[in-house]
A and B are shown apart, each in its own frame.
Chain A
Amino acid sequence: MNLLPIDLIVSSALLWIALGLVGLAARKQPAFVRNAVFPVGALAGLLVAASAFSSRGVETAISLLGLPDLPFHLRLDSLSAFFLFILGCAAFGVSIYSAGYFKNDEKHIGPLCLQYHVFLAAMVFVLLADDAFLFMISWEAMALSSYFLVTTDHRIPEIRRAGFLYLLMAHLGALGILLYFGSMGGDYSFDAMRKSHLTDLHATFAFLLALFGFGAKAGMLPLHVWLPEAHPAAPSPVSALMSGVMLKTAIYGLLRAVFDLLHLQLWWWGALILGIGLATALFGAIFSAVQSDMKRLLAYSSVENIGIIFVGIGLAVIFKAYAMNSLAALALVAALYHCLNHAFFKSLLFLCTGSVLHATGERNLGKLGGLIRTMPWVAWSALIGALAIAGLPPLNGFVSEWLLLQAFLFTPGLPHSYLNMLIPVAAAALVLTGAAAGYVMVKFFGIVFLGQAREEKLHDAHGAGKWERAGLSWLAGGCILLGLVPFFVINHLSGASMLLVGSSLAADKGSWLFLSPISPARASYSPLLFLIVTCGATLLSFLMVRRLYHGRVRRTMPWNCGYPIWNARMQDTSEGFGQPIRQIFDPFFKMERKLPSPFDAMPKYSAKTEDRIWHSLYLPFGNMVEYVANLFGKIQQGRILVYLLYNFVTLIALLLFMP
Chain B
Amino acid sequence: MSAFGLLAQFLQLFLTVLLAPLLLGWVNQCRAWLQNRQGPGIDQPYRKLRKLFQKDAVIAESASPLFRIVPYILFGAMCLAAAIVPSLATDLGFSEAADAIALVGIFALARIFMSLAAMDIGTAFGGMGARREMLVGFLAEPALLMVLFTASLISQSTSLTVIVETLAHRHFGIYPSLAFTGIAFLMVLLAENARIPVDNPASHLELTMIHEAMILEYSARHLALVEWASSIKLFAYVAMGIALFVPWGIAQAADWLGMAFALPILIVKLLVAGFGLAVIETVMAKQRIFRAPEFMGTAFLFGVLGMLVHFLLGA
Contacts and interface: CB of A to CB of B under 8 A. Distances in A.
Contacts of B307: 424, 427-428
A525 B66 CA distance: 27
A446 interface: yes
Interface in B49-70: 53-54, 56-64, 66
Given A537-B75, A545-B225, A520 B96 contact: yes
Contacts of B63: 555
Interface in A433-484: 434-436, 438-439, 441-443, 445-447, 450-452
Nearest to A436: B138
A439 B124 contact: no
A523 B156 CA distance: 9
Interface string A527-550: 001100111111101100100111
Contact of A524 (B122, B149, B159): B159
Contact of B122 (A451, A514, A535): A451
A541 B76 CA distance: 7
A602 interface: no
B127 A560 contact: no
A366 interface: no
Interface residues of A, number: 83
Contacts of A177: none
A370 B67 CA distance: 12
A54 interface: no
B295 to A, nearest CB: 12
B123 A372 contact: no
A405 interface: yes
B158 A522 contact: yes
Interface residues of B, number: 80
Contact of B60 (A398, A556, A577): A556
A450 B138 contact: no
Contact of B97 (A373, A451, A525): A525
Interface in B113-151: 115-116, 119-128, 130-132, 134-135, 137-139, 141-142, 145-146, 149
B127 A545 contact: no
B94 interface: yes
B33 interface: no
B183 to A, nearest CB: 16
B270 interface: no
A421 interface: yes
B60 A558 contact: yes
B66 A538 contact: no
B98 A525 contact: yes
Interface string B273-315: 0000000000000000000010001001001100110011000
A420 interface: yes
Please indicate which of the listed interface residues B54, B96, B138 has the most CB atoms of chain A within 10 Å of its own CB: B138
A534 B103 CA distance: 12
B76 A445 contact: no
A424 B150 CA distance: 10
Nearest to A548: B53
B61 A421 contact: no
Task: Tell me if A's interface is mostly helix, strand, loop or mixed.
Answer: helix
B115 A442 contact: yes
A286 B205 CA distance: 30
A525 B84 CA distance: 12
Given A529-B94, A545-B53, A425 B124 contact: no
A576 B311 contact: no
A436 B149 CA distance: 19
B79 interface: yes
Given A451-B122, A537-B76, A561-B125, A556 B58 contact: yes
B57 A369 contact: no
B105 A391 contact: yes
A398 to B, nearest CB: 6
A393 B121 contact: no
Contact of B293 (A392, A425, A549, A584): A584
A526 interface: yes
B158 A406 contact: yes
B297 to A, nearest CB: 8
A553 B157 CA distance: 47
B120 A450 contact: yes
Contact of B99 (A383, A392, A435, A524): A524
Contact of A526 (B62, B97, B127): B97
A566 B66 contact: no
Nearest to B293: A584
A572 B300 CA distance: 27
Contact of A555 (B61, B97, B206): B61
A420 B99 contact: no
A39 B96 CA distance: 43
Contacts of B54: 549
A402 B153 CA distance: 15
B119 A431 contact: no
B109 to A, nearest CB: 5
Contacts of A559: 58, 60, 216-217, 219
A36 interface: no
A372 B300 contact: no
Interface in B72-104: 72-73, 75-77, 79-80, 83, 94, 96-99, 101-102
Contact of A525 (B102, B138, B139): B102
Interface string A488-527: 0000000000000000000000000010000011111110
Interface string A183-211: 00000000000000000000000000000
B123 A571 contact: yes
Contact of B80 (A520, A537, A580): A537
B96 to A, nearest CB: 5
Contacts of A425: 304, 308
Contacts of A391: 105, 108
A243 B80 CA distance: 35
B153 A412 contact: yes
B152 interface: yes
Interface in A376-415: 383, 387, 390-393, 398, 402, 405-406, 409, 412
Given A421-B308, A439-B138, A580 B112 contact: no
B112 A387 contact: yes
Given A524-B159, A530-B102, A549-B221, A580 B116 contact: no
Contacts of A628: none
B99 A572 contact: no
B72 A542 contact: yes
B225 A541 contact: yes
Given A431-B145, A545-B53, A530 B80 contact: yes
Contacts of B125: 560-561
Given A409-B153, A566-B124, A584-B293, A552 B66 contact: no
Contacts of B106: 393, 534
A634 B300 CA distance: 58
A25 interface: no
A91 B84 CA distance: 40
B77 A451 contact: no
A65 interface: no
A342 to B, nearest CB: 18
B271 interface: no
Contacts of A137: none
Contacts of A452: 62, 122
Given A390-B108, A559-B217, A446 B123 contact: no
B62 A561 contact: no
Contacts of B142: 428, 431-432, 434-435
Nearest to B94: A533
20 contacts: A391-B105, A393-B105, A431-B141, A432-B300, A435-B137, A438-B108, A450-B122, A452-B62, A524-B96, A537-B77, A541-B75, A552-B56, A560-B124, A561-B206, A561-B216, A566-B124, A571-B123, A579-B131, A580-B132, A584-B293
Nearest 9 interchain pairs by C-beta: A572-B127, A538-B76, A451-B122, A452-B122, A529-B97, A558-B60, A446-B119, A537-B76, A537-B79
Given A521-B159, A525-B102, A566-B124, 7 more contacts: A405-B149, A522-B156, A530-B97, A530-B102, A537-B76, A570-B124, A576-B127
